[in-house]
Amino acid sequence: MIITKNIGIWMDHSIAYIMEFTAGLITTITIESNPDFKLEDEFCVTDNNSLLFYKEHQKQTAYYKKLEESISDCNEVILFGPTYAKVKLYDLLRIDKRFSKTNIEVTQAREMNQSEQQDFVINHFSKHRFLNGTK
């Protein structure tokens, strides 16, 4: 019997709840966009707006890299949440060859508590198993 690794990610721009659905059980981890992010390289920028933009860009890049690493060995992924962040992650995953065989879906979802998120993931992957003829 082949065990597949299915992941549901409820996310916005600042936090992601990664729910691994295996054998009917859900394990959740949280990844946050680090508010205390430190720049890797020291450099001089004369415009404070440019520096703030650069810091925010670096923080978001680190956040998406953590998310990519957490799902690198998955078979199926459902990205859901209320913001555009899930689409940005999807776009990054599609250009990364490591995810070429991973089935990734994106769905709009409202703000949810942890129980609602887990129910969403369970329903999504249970429905997929039924539709694909596996039990």
Q: What is the DSSP letter of 83?
A: S
**Tell me, which fold does domain 6-131 have in CATH?**
Nucleotidyltransferase; domain 5 (3.30.420)
Nearest to 53 by CA among 39, 64, 67, 65: 39
pTM exceeds 0.85: no
116-126 exposure pattern, b = at least 16 Cβ within 10 A, e = fewer? ebbebbbebbe
Domain positions in the chain are 6-131
Which pLDDT tens digits describe the chain residue by residue (135 residues)? Answer: 455 789 999 999 999 999 999 877 899 999 998 755 554 444 444 556 777 777 888 888 999 999 999 998 899 999 999 999 999 999 999 999 999 999 999 999 999 999 999 999 999 998 765 444 444
